[in-house]
Structure 1
């Protein structure tokens, strides 16, 4: 009989591995317990998948312990002021990643890098002179992911030091939609969606303060933050509450195109660690989750129109520099000649035709064009008619 995950055992293992005991605010314990239950009962994990989830959960808990230890050693971290200039939000596959990556070529922005998301605490923050092997660890992880699922490189480019979504930081709070990407855990997702997710955003802010302090300490220029994650589509009200000066860029593309593409990515991720994957069940849950969230997000957008900027996917593809100029004007930052050159270079080096084609069929996930069009009729009528 295959072993199962146990929340208390994971906590003990993390403490033993780190030699630390303070996990920070206890708000993470209930979502951790719920997630562990879902992984044991819903996810249909393979033996390799179970080992991977075990390692991932212990890693998150070890990171929490290290975060609290750094805060204990350096209480001045709490004084770091976080200014978020831009946060990119939208349905997956709507150009959020492209916008995020090209904006990250502007060195005035701070942003979480992949190795910082996976391992937020720099070793020398705990022990002076300690070597930093985080990049090597993440490169080994990415090499395994691409070897196991080559199609992921065509769907979503990965880099150990590149700009990465802050969803990986939020994941340390366990109020995160990340588990829904790697595992079929719909009951956990529904439970999470019904909770007050403020603890997730509070912990994100805690980790951004830590990252900013570490960057300042390392001699990096500290400026406004650039954030991005489709996760925020579910919790736009909390995003606005947490980052009161941020301009939210909402990306728009026809869900008839985006939902099948995203479902195919989730199926590919599920195959990394699940014994069996039901593409139709995955498709149904993806539709359920995002149809409700998009409706709620639109209502919140209408309450605070001055906080938002709408960007069409076709404009990101066909006239990206015009989109970027408009964004810089909206946030009051100069769009300098040097920034334009850097962004033109990034766009040329990362053209979509330089990656392998991403093949999928909507029917594989139980979708029809007519059904998706009906599910998102109001959204399509409002944002996709021009």
Structure 2
């Protein structure tokens, strides 16, 4: 049976319900605005800790993020509070990581060997691919709730559900109630496998900030500086997670993020034995989906929604990401990397998995293959409905101009133009 079509016809002018108005206003008791020093002090107060470890430049990056945040005139107070809350949470996580490593220095001896990275444009199948391959229990992967709080705030009680799971479920449940069609575009469930760029939050070098606000000055700063130091910090967080998992922590890591596409050289420097899988999809079709997802969620954080401005911003951001990818792609040679074209992946998912397994040097036993195929059967595409995208109408983008703009990418990779 065909998936029901979802038309979002109030993109630019949604009805502001009392619940949406409250979300836009943010919690009245949350301090806003905050300086970088106040964010750090709030993290210290929340944890009772003070040592953030070596300053890898995260303090400066935090200041740049906040300056860019307050320059975004269309963001509501609630939108600012969300980013500030993310920053406080990230710094609290960093404090707990440093405290745990200080008490257990053996954590830094934990191996992070031959990790498998999946990189690809947003909306290019990376989430589906990583959740699918994570069914292989020989691999370590990262759940949403664990990425949000890698180290528990207090000792866990045996036999009881981890409170971090409940906090994640409560937040995303409330957000999902405001934007019910989001599940059809990108569902956020605590136990789903998530992006490891969340770990880069703890070094203030995650491109996810850009999904929550218009931060062009931050983007320029981020791209102008080397990100290797932040991937080194991600490795430390992976060591912490592996140590907490005990014997399970010795498994190979399976990681994914669109951000990796523009950081291939940094990943190779920090994880020289990594396997890199890069997915490729027509960037015009990526923009159709991405702008709709971001424009739809903007109702929770912006007083005025401007779909054309959003699309123009992200067309430029995707171009920057793709140019970095083309420039850095040869950091990984053919013995360690694989390019996966979206249309080929959709046509032959099982064949794609076999190619990845051969590249990674993993055998694909009948038992493992059955688990992987079970995921495909349980998670069909468009299970929550199929969103109808209108890049040309709602977002006022010219497809032909975009294709000319992205010609350098089409010339480098044999991406199928979808529409």
State the TM-score bracket (shorter-chain normalisation): over 0.9
Counterpart in 1 of 2:307? Answer: 279
Task: Give the Cα separation in 2 of the matches to 1:377 and 1:143.
Answer: 40
More helix by share: 1
Counterpart secondary structure, 2:340? strand
Correspondent of 1:353 among 362, 382, 388: 382
Q: Deviation of residue 114 (structure 1)? A: 0.8
Counterpart among 169, 172, 179 of residue 139 in structure 1: 169
Q: 1:291 aligns with which of 288, 308, 319?
A: 319
Aligned counterpart, 1:17: 46
Q: State the partner residue of 1:188.
A: 218
Q: Which residue of 2 aligns with 1:335?
A: 364
Shift of 1:160: 0.5
1:326 paired with 2:355, answer yes
Q: Could you tell me how far apart the structure 2 residues matched to 1:302 and 1:70 are?
A: 37
The 5-angstrom pairing of residues 161-200 of structure 1 reads 161-200=191-230
SS in 1 for 2:221: helix
Q: Distance in 1 between matches of 2:157 and 2:382?
A: 43
CA 1:133–1:280 in structure 2 vs 1: closer, same or farther (change >3 Å)?
same
Q: 2:184·2:383 contact (CA, 8 Å) conserved in 1?
A: no
Contact 1:254/1:384, CA 8 A, preserved across alignment = no
Q: CA deviation at 1:123?
A: 4.3
* 3-state secondary structure, aligned to 1:225: strand
| 1:261 alignment partner, one of 278, 289, 296 | 289
Alignment of 1:153-232 (within 5 A): 153-216=183-246, 220=248, 222-232=250-260
Deviation for aligned residue 1:99: 0.9
User: In structure 2, what is the Cα distance between the partners aligned to 1:292 and 1:149?
Assistant: 29
Aligned to 1:252: 280
> 41-50 or 135-144, which moves further after superposition?
41-50
For residues 334-363 of structure 1, give each alpha carbon's deviation from its aligned partner in whole angstroms, at most 9, with x where no partner exists.
Answer: 011111111111111111132221222112
**What is the SS of the residue equivalent to 2:168?**
helix
- Paired with 1:175 and 1:44, the residues of 2 have a C-alpha distance of 23
The equivalent residue for 1:40 is 70
Contact 1:83 1:245 in 2 (8 A): yes
Separation in 2, partners of 1:199, 1:174: 11
The worse-fitting range, judged by mean Cα deviation, of 50-59 and 22-31 is 50-59
Q: Where does residue 152 of structure 2 map in the other structure?
A: 122
1:314 aligns with 2:331: no
1:11 match: secondary structure: helix
Quick one: distance in 1 between partners of 2:169 and 2:415?
Answer: 43
| 8 Å contact kept, 1:316–1:323 | yes
Q: For 2:400 and 2:272, how far apart are their aligned partners in 1?
A: 39
> Once the 2 structures are TM-superposed, how far is the Cα of residue 175 of structure 1 from its aligned partner?
0.8
User: In 2, Cα distance between the equivalents of 1:148 and 1:25?
Assistant: 40
Aligned residues: 382
1:49 corresponds to:
79
How far, CA to CA, are the matches of 2:292 and 2:156 in structure 1? 45
Counterpart of 2:139?
A: 109
Worse-superposed segment, 263-272 or 280-289 = 263-272
User: Residues 90 and 149 from structure 1, CA distance in 2 versus in 1: closer, same or farther, beyond 3 angstroms?
Assistant: same
Secondary structure in 2 matching 1:362:
coil
Q: Distance in 2 between matches of 1:48 and 1:104?
A: 35
- Aligned alpha-carbon RMSD (Å): 2.0
Distance 1:137 1:344 in 2: 31
Instruction: Give the Å deviation of 1:293.
Output: 2.4
Q: Conserved in 2, the CA contact under 8 Å of 1:182 and 1:269? A: no
Q: What runs of 5+ residues in structure 2 fail to find an aligned partner?
A: 1-24, 26-30
Which region of structure 1 is more displaced relative to structure 2, 219-228 or 369-378? 219-228
TM value normalised by structure 2: 0.86
Helix, strand or coil at the partner of 2:116: strand
Q: Distance in 2 between matches of 1:4 and 1:180?
A: 18
Counterpart in 2 of 1:4?
A: 33
Give the Cα–Cα distance (whole angstroms) in 2 for the partners of residues 51 and 274 of structure 1: 12
- Report if aligned partners of 1:175, 1:199 keep a CA contact under 8 Å in 2: no
Distance 1:172 1:280 in 2: 32
- Matched-pair contact (CA < 8 Å) for 1:251–1:310: yes
Distance between the aligned counterparts of 2:229 and 2:307, measured in 1? Answer: 32
Counterpart Cα distance in 1 of 2:75 and 2:254? 35
Structure-1-length-normalised TM-score: 0.93
